[in-house]
A and B are shown apart, each in its own frame.
Chain A
Amino acid sequence: EAGVAQSPRYKIIEKRQSVAFWCNPISGHATLYWYQQILGQGPKLLIQFQNNGVVDDSQLPKDRFSAERLKGVDSTLKIQPAKLEDSAVYLCASSSTRGNTIYFGEGSWLTVV
């Protein structure tokens, strides 16, 4: 069974530029999560999708972050414009339903300079 796929793995951008991360969850998984993990901290949930609907985006900085999950499969997380404090690993994860085991991708490392 293929795992959660993320790309790009690494990205370096200048502040005020934009960046997009892509995630393809495990086949058949209805729930998809995006987390932000700053060095030395635990992952912070940014947004949770159930199929193509948003379940929780209470911690998503909506002035600069956006996410979509068209057709209820893969998802894109965008940051525009980026700030220095956005430097982090962005983890995508999926589960078959809410409450089931969550499987993570390898993460996308973002450095904003």
Chain B
Amino acid sequence: AQTVTQSQPEMSVQEAETVTLSCTYDTSENNYYLFWYKQPPSRQMILVIRQEAYKQQNATENRFSVNFQKAAKSFSLKISDSQLGDTAMYFCASVNDMRFGAGTRLTVKP
């Protein structure tokens, strides 16, 4: 089974600034997918961004982008121009067996 590690339990950032959340994973597979999910206090899991391992190009979704380092098995999430609504728990997850990391609590300060 794949394991996913998020080493930052909590982070904070000032509104409009940039923050990077870290994630490392362990897998023996060649083809897999990686995800970042956001979970606000309502506990609804919301997909932020997805990366396919066979693609060299880092995924980008508006203010969210990833730095995918396949050899290092690293998958970090960069949030640009942080907004108050970005405050939430962020979980990194690996597919194919959908294991989640322990999460990073992000607080955006006004």
Task: List residues of A whose CB falls within 8 A of some B CB.
Answer: 33, 35, 37, 41-45, 48, 56, 58, 89, 91, 93, 98-104, 106-107, 109
Which A residues are CB-close (under 8 A) to B103?
Answer: 41-42
A99 x B33 contact (CB < 8 A): yes
Which B residues are CB-close (under 8 A) to A42?
Answer: 6, 91, 100-103
Segment with Cβ contacts to A, from B40-48, B56-64, B67-75, B80-88: B40-48
In the assembled complex, B11 has its CB within 8 A of some CB on chain A = no
A43 x B100 contact (CB < 8 A): yes
Which A residues are CB-close (under 8 A) to B47?
Answer: 101-103
Partner of A107, one of B32, B43, B46, B91: B43
Distance between Cα atoms of A108 and B91 in the complex (Å): 19
A1 to chain B, nearest CB (A): 14
30 contacts between A and B (CB under 8 A): A33-B98, A35-B100, A37-B43, A41-B102, A41-B103, A42-B6, A42-B91, A42-B100, A42-B101, A42-B103, A43-B45, A43-B91, A43-B100, A44-B100, A45-B97, A45-B99, A48-B97, A48-B98, A89-B43, A91-B43, A98-B95, A98-B96, A99-B96, A101-B47, A101-B50, A102-B35, A102-B93, A102-B98, A104-B46, A109-B43
A104 x B45 contact (CB < 8 A): yes
Partner of A91, one of B6, B45, B46, B96: B45
A93 to chain B, nearest CB (A): 7
B46, B98, B101, B103 interface centre (most CB from chain A within 10 Å): B98
Which B residues are CB-close (under 8 A) to A48?
Answer: 97-98
Partner of B45, one of A56, A93, A98, A100: A93
Q: Could you list 18 further interchain pairs (A-B, Cβ under 8 angstroms) beyond the known A42-B102, A43-B91?
A: A33-B98, A35-B100, A37-B43, A42-B6, A42-B100, A43-B45, A93-B45, A93-B98, A98-B95, A99-B32, A99-B33, A99-B95, A101-B50, A102-B98, A104-B45, A104-B46, A107-B43, A109-B43
B50 x A106 contact (CB < 8 A): no
**Chain B residue at minimum C-beta to C-beta distance from A45:** B98
A92 to chain B, nearest CB (A): 11
